[in-house]
Structure 1
């Protein structure tokens, strides 16, 4: 067992980029492979995602010695993360306001009669139907499901993947962009699996949006080093989406042009956050651990 541990540590430490890609493939295979063998129940999905999140944190501790606190599960950097995530908070507030409006029959009728949203009438009626059928039990399950998704995906990508890629590229403007773009690209690639259960057009829009979101959230995590706020934002987003669409054919996906515009906005905002004078040092607290001596003053000595 100790020999296996030393072998794995040597592989991941000496080949951080290959290790990060292998990590992505292994976790993805576990998620989709084992997930398909489990009963298709929402409770099982919640528990499974929580277990995978714990396994990722254990792996990062065993291989690198990174504790959850060092990876950002603490109050450190929380103010920076909240500030840099202003656009995501705005999206959530706007989406919540829309759901509250659709939950009000009088406001919904006025919106439908105005004629300004005629093309979205079926979607709005579907969302209103979901909200009218909401019970405390359904709300509780939806919250647990959203939290499990947010925790798993942020632990998988923003915490596990970005922190590992940073070992390879170190702290610099180029290193920050390489880390964030590769992480976002793999995050978007994972969403291609949605094509097995929906149209290619909707999947393409989700991939485009996921890439933009991955770049922005990766930049925020790289700057702040805080993992708590990304988990909260991701969880809130998924909770609101599930409340709006679960159980019906209603879709809240924007059009292709809107998806591209959202991606461009997120990438542009990330470019402001990752400008050269702001990327000399990352907020991720794993810098003080074993590989810092090998990297030195931002120089990449790992091959």
Structure 2
């Protein structure tokens, strides 16, 4: 990892942040389609907001800002938020949007209350925990980047190993059920992978904005390809590029990195929606116009000169 950081034409602190943000964006971009294709984007939002109580509880247990323990706490509370949403949907019969809204609000307010109580306790070590709301990667060190790379690589390997199952469940859930693929297993695997992406990115992008880094690269890639393999690859590239470029731009302009990264990824998604060659808005507008022009210029159609009558003398 050190060779990659030192090879960049950037000062060492900026290079660390850029590589770390790129790794997080790449992982989030690759795993985001798991939520987008299954219509569960807001499910990821509930999980990302659910990480905030875990971050605070991890700090309380460790007594200091110990990143692995705080991320473990974030992962546990994100999983609890996911289970709460699923429980409200299936056991209480709530609609998905209602279940997500209830869990998101409850989890986020719990995190805010814990943050406020910790700030009032006089514990000087809690300074900077509020940065997990909107992200602050400036304090990232090489060890944090290595942790992100290792955990992210494990998640990507899991996606590669289960790719055919995930593809079938995403595009043809009926066939997946007939083939004997348990729905609960696909749900569990997708939820765990989403939790990994969210937990890795919550420090850089923040609990509030993390869902955008999952969704925006997938939306951009969806306009450019119809194959799941290409979608995952393009989405990862958009996420990784947005992470690296956003971190560098934010550092140079002295702006918060999380919002800048999200703005770049969202801008790419908007451009793809507008200008994609086949599925973009402009392409769809031009298609009927071109078809109408071709019909009007075809021989024998309306607008063509009439043929001479034959056989009449």
Greater Rg, structure 1 or structure 2? Answer: 2
TM beyond 0.5: no
TM-score, L = length of structure 1: 0.34
TM-score, L = length of structure 2: 0.33
